[in-house]
Amino acid sequence: MKLLSSFPPFADDRSRILILGTMPGPVALARRQYYGFPGNHFWRILPEILEAAAPRTYREKIRLLKDRRIALWDVIRTCTRTGASDSSIRSVLPNDIPGLLRRRRAIRTIFLNGRTAETLYRRHFGDVIRIPAYTLPSTSPAHASMSYEKKKKAWSAILPYLENRNEWC
């Protein structure tokens, strides 16, 4: 099995929340884009709950996150996996999330994109990181047991954690 590597974090000094996934799927890895699989709801949900125009390009998507003070990364640095399913993830080496939080001190809350991200985060960092972490429903199309509307409503939980929402660029 091939060793997979995640992307560098997207975060800056203005980031207020950190959204953590598990590991990009094969399409996202090939495109070198967070949530790059067209069927993933992430890039549809975020603009809607942020009341922003839907970004057309990856550059516009990243700009939206930056403007809204959202950091993005994955719990996993490297792993092996068969296909795209999180259930087949093996040989996990986690990212240095504590190091990121030391460098980006304005991040005060973590949101985990799905149960696998939660399980891995708590296993590797549950005793280390002391800021609140909340689990949201996975935006993956594999999480079909929840409707898009229910996912979107659940994801709106990030809004109160984005300080100074009236000052968004």
pLDDT digits (tens, 9 = 90+) for 26-48: 999 999 999 999 999 999 999 99
Q: What is the number of structural domains in the chain?
A: 1
Decide if 167 is inside a domain: no
Question: What residue type is assigned to position 106 of the chain?
Answer: A
Classify residue 166: in a domain, yes or no.
no
Tokens of residue 154, six digits = 């659940």
40 is annotated as an active-site residue: yes
* SS3 (DSSP) at 111: strand
> Predicted confidence band at 164 (pLDDT cuts at 50, 70, 90)?
low
Which of 40, 95, 164, 166 is catalytic? The answer is 40
Residue 58 lies in a domain: yes
Q: Which amino acid is at 15?
A: S
The domain that holds 7 is classified in CATH as: 3.40.470.10
Residue 8 lies in a domain: yes
pLDDT digits (tens, 9 = 90+) for 80-109: 999 888 889 999 999 999 999 999 999 999
Residue 87: the pLDDT is 87
